[in-house]
Copies of this chain bind each other. A is one copy, B any other.
Amino acid sequence: MMSTPLNLFNMFDYSQHMYGDKWIVTRTPTGVHRYQYRDFGQRVRQLSAALRSLGVQPGDRVGTLAWNDFRHLEVYFAVPLMGAVLHTINLRLSPDHIRYIINHAEDRVLIVDEGLLPLMDTLKDQLPTVEHLIILGPDPDPGQSPIKPAHSYEALVNGADPSMAAYDPDWPEDQPLGMCYTSATTGNPKGVVYSHRGIFLHSMAMGLANTAALSESDTVMPIVPMFHVNAWGLPFAAIWFGANIVMPGLAPTPRDLVHLMATEGVTVSAGVPTVWLGVAKVLEENPTPLSLRMALCGGSAAPPALIQTFEETFGVPFVHAYGMTETSPLATFSRLKSTLADRPAAERLAVRATQGLLVPGLFMRLVRDGQDIPWDGESMGELWLRGPWIADEYYHDDRTRESFEGGWLKTGDVATINPEGYVHLVDRTKDLVKSGGEWISSVDVENALMAHPAIFEAAVVGVPHPKWDERPLAFVVLKDRRTATKEELLEHLAKIFPKWWLPDDILFLPEIPKTSVGKFMKRTLRDQYRDYLTPQDG
């Protein structure tokens, strides 16, 4: 067989030849911008030519700080097609982390939304590798840029000759296409590099009927930001397979999203649970006919009630997917197998609420103490992943050895896998409570506590215990004007869990400490209460 490489050129060239008349639509502050693939392709080539004239070479990193729009999409293709590396930067991180990321990746060029120039101002003179700043927007003034030299994106693109793009159809598939940094529990973000081969295969996986079945008959709207693991890979797959694309632009409200879905005939959209909660609220208040065939949800687990609302009230299939920056990200996808179609509704919902089945092309293991454990739906182990779109290291980072072992990625997620192959995440490894050699899922106990009518929030952590190594401690916040006693809550839990799962104590707090993105800071609780169950010698 031919050794034709699996690269982005293959996908782009195909898309341009087969689907030149498909549409890319962007919500902008001044209305809706729309153009066809063939115009997109022309501008992609122009941008590559312009970057080349700025001195960008194959292998160079080009950073982006931008929302979801057509210009960012052009950058997505123009940079890797010329052999350079698309480095999407999470603009919601702290300026310190953004500075670290740009310097660690050694970005030579930054392409940023006009609205982010104030952020650039805080970083100026601290980005030694950055040689050019390119400003996105309809008509930005490079004179306003705190970093020099600066260029207007539109001026660069319009002034370039597309025939100078000089793409190499045989660009090797193992070369880097892009990179993305993921937040670490402690310390600086960690970089993951995506190869052409990885993105090609990941895109193919998104077109499979067994997974997202992206096709030319779809209109795809990625709500997930393009700085989050390549908007879950949707832009690459959607363009390859000829779907229309709708870009929600800067800071869309749930009402904006529903409006776009309705007016543009969106069939597939993707976002985190909070986005879908917002969309559900709008749809409940203003029932709107949609052509949505799939609401794709990832980032964290969606409550079963949300799945139910979408499927039963709105008639929209709501699909869970799971992955992480290290997995490109699609790793599991929660479709109901045809063989389970006649199970009772509650069972079907329970299956749909899992993280789903492994995506074809990947391998998984469930590992505990270095041993594979059974896929019985009950045994808990760390989920390990392997496959052609799974990272094998962090970019220039010693923390690689903590997360990769023997050719596998240790996800840090604790899961069960049932005999059908459905993965159900139960906890993060570091949040598990290890009691007497057994594992207790802090998440399960928290969810049970939060199901109690008096509880607003609950967090469960393991703290050292002289006999059992660790025991669970629970922290709860009561709802306004509600009360509950510790005994009452323990009784509530005892109906659900074995006795040894019950927390050794339940502490009532006015609030649970949280991170900047709203996650419980369990590490703070663990540190603060580390001696709570240990007898003190004085």
Within 8 A of B (CB), among A129-164: none
B2 touches A358 (CB 8 A): no
Q: Provided the pairs A18-B421, A216-B337 are in contact, do residues A4 and B208 lie with their beta carbons within 8 angstroms?
A: no
Q: Mark each residue of chain A from 352 to 370: 1 if its CB lies under 8 Å from any CB of chain B, else 0.
A: 0000011011110000000
A360 touches B194 (CB 8 A): no
Enumerate chain B residues within 8 angstroms of A210, measured Cβ to Cβ: 207, 215-216, 241-242
Enumerate chain B residues within 8 angstroms of A217, measured Cβ to Cβ: 338
Query: Is A17 in contact with chain B by the CB < 8 A criterion?
Result: yes
A2 touches B360 (CB 8 A): no
**Cross-chain contact of A392 among B2, B198, B209 (Cβ < 8 A):** B2
A358 touches B14 (CB 8 A): yes
Interchain CA distance A387-B328 in the complex, whole Å: 24
Shortest Cβ distance from residue A142 to the other chain B in the assembled complex, whole angstroms: 36
Enumerate chain B residues within 8 angstroms of A360, measured Cβ to Cβ: 11, 14, 204, 207, 240-241
Q: Provided the pairs A207-B208, A208-B204 are in contact, do residues A388 and B358 lie with their beta carbons within 8 angstroms?
A: no
Interchain CA distance A215-B407 in the complex, whole Å: 29
Query: Is A6 in contact with chain B by the CB < 8 A criterion?
Result: yes
Interchain CA distance A213-B362 in the complex, whole Å: 19
Query: Is A214 in contact with chain B by the CB < 8 A criterion?
Result: yes
Query: Is A10 in contact with chain B by the CB < 8 A criterion?
Result: yes
Query: Is A339 in contact with chain B by the CB < 8 A criterion?
Result: yes
Enumerate chain B residues within 8 angstroms of A205, measured Cβ to Cβ: 204
A215 touches B208 (CB 8 A): yes
Shortest Cβ distance from residue A236 to the other chain B in the assembled complex, whole angstroms: 12
Interchain CA distance A4-B169 in the complex, whole Å: 23
Enumerate chain B residues within 8 angstroms of A358, measured Cβ to Cβ: 14, 17-18
B338 touches A6 (CB 8 A): no
Enumerate chain B residues within 8 angstroms of A14, measured Cβ to Cβ: 358, 360-363
B1 touches A388 (CB 8 A): yes
Query: Is A391 in contact with chain B by the CB < 8 A criterion?
Result: yes
Enumerate chain B residues within 8 angstroms of A198, measured Cβ to Cβ: 1
A17 touches B204 (CB 8 A): no
Enumerate chain B residues within 8 angstroms of A405, measured Cβ to Cβ: none
Q: Mark each residue of chain A from 229 to 256: 1 if its CB lies under 8 Å from any CB of chain B, else 0.
A: 0000000000011100000000000000
A204 touches B361 (CB 8 A): yes
Within 8 A of B (CB), among A379-412: 386-392, 407, 409
**Cross-chain contact of A357 among B13, B18, B21, B409 (Cβ < 8 A):** B18
Query: Is A72 in contact with chain B by the CB < 8 A criterion?
Result: no
Query: Main SS of chain A's interface residues?
Result: loop
Query: Is A442 in contact with chain B by the CB < 8 A criterion?
Result: no
B209 touches A363 (CB 8 A): no
B241 touches A197 (CB 8 A): no
Interchain CA distance A338-B219 in the complex, whole Å: 11
Enumerate chain B residues within 8 angstroms of A389, measured Cβ to Cβ: 1
Query: Is A48 in contact with chain B by the CB < 8 A criterion?
Result: no
Shortest Cβ distance from residue A56 to the other chain B in the assembled complex, whole angstroms: 23
Interchain CA distance A428-B99 in the complex, whole Å: 61
Query: Is A195 in contact with chain B by the CB < 8 A criterion?
Result: yes
Q: Mark each residue of chain A from 1 to 44: 1 if its CB lies under 8 Å from any CB of chain B, else 0.
A: 11110100011011001100110000000000000000000000
B208 touches A241 (CB 8 A): yes
Enumerate chain B residues within 8 angstroms of A169, measured Cβ to Cβ: 363
Enumerate chain B residues within 8 angstroms of A361, measured Cβ to Cβ: 6, 10, 14, 204
Interchain CA distance A241-B6 in the complex, whole Å: 21
Choose among A1, A217, A375 the residue with the greatest number of B CB atoms under 10 Å from its CB: A1
Closest to A22 in B: B339
Within 8 A of B (CB), among A205-227: 205, 207-210, 213-217
Enumerate chain B residues within 8 angstroms of A1, measured Cβ to Cβ: 193-195, 197-198, 328, 388-392
Shortest Cβ distance from residue A363 to the other chain B in the assembled complex, whole angstroms: 7
Interchain CA distance A205-B193 in the complex, whole Å: 25
Interchain CA distance A3-B195 in the complex, whole Å: 10
Enumerate chain B residues within 8 angstroms of A409, measured Cβ to Cβ: 2
Enumerate chain B residues within 8 angstroms of A339, measured Cβ to Cβ: 21-22
Shortest Cβ distance from residue A166 to the other chain B in the assembled complex, whole angstroms: 18
A386 touches B213 (CB 8 A): no
A3-B388, A209-B215 known, 9 other contacts, Cβ within 8 Å: A1-B198, A1-B390, A2-B392, A4-B363, A4-B386, A17-B421, A18-B357, A209-B209, A217-B338
7 A-B pairs closest in CB distance: A209-B215, A1-B198, A217-B338, A209-B213, A207-B208, A18-B421, A1-B195
21 cross-chain CB contacts under 8 A: A1-B198, A1-B390, A1-B391, A2-B407, A3-B388, A6-B388, A10-B361, A14-B358, A14-B360, A17-B358, A17-B421, A18-B357, A18-B421, A204-B204, A204-B360, A208-B209, A208-B215, A209-B213, A209-B241, A210-B242, A241-B360
